[in-house]
């Protein structure tokens, strides 16, 4: 199982034994929810910890763990 983690604490929410893809910014985990609502407790409106994870990084992790065969030449 692969888990893409942004502002949450992967040690609390990721399934045991899963591969975690995260950036590990100093402000993460902030554990504040919900994100973009009027009653949000989070001051971070850009969620850079999640947006910084690129599709290429996810693909590379999948290829590295032989879950996905890359078509790159």
Query: pLDDT exceeding 70 applies to what percent of the chain?
Result: 71
Q: pLDDT by residue (tens digit) across 28-44? A: 777 555 555 554 455 66
Residue 47 CB contacts under 8 Å (≥ 6 apart), including other chains:
6, 7, 35
Indicate the pLDDT class of residue 56, thresholds 50, 70 and 90: very high
Mean of pLDDT over the chain:
78
The answer, as to whether pTM is greater than 0.75, is no
Residue 33 CB contacts under 8 Å (≥ 6 apart), including other chains:
40, 41, 42
| pLDDT at position 59 over 60 | yes
Residue 1 CB contacts under 8 Å (≥ 6 apart), including other chains:
15, 17, 18, 19
| pLDDT at position 52 over 90 | yes
């Amino acid at each position: 199982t692969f888990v893409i983690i942004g502002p949450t604490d992967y040690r609390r929410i990721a399934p045991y034994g899963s591969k975690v893809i995260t950036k590990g910014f100093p402000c993460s985990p902030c554990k504040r929810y919900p994100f973009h609502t009027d009653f949000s407790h989070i001051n971070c409106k850009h969620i850079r910890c999640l947006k910084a994870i690129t599709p290429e990084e996810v693909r590379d992790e999948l290829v590295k763990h032989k879950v996905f065969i890359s078509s790159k030449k």
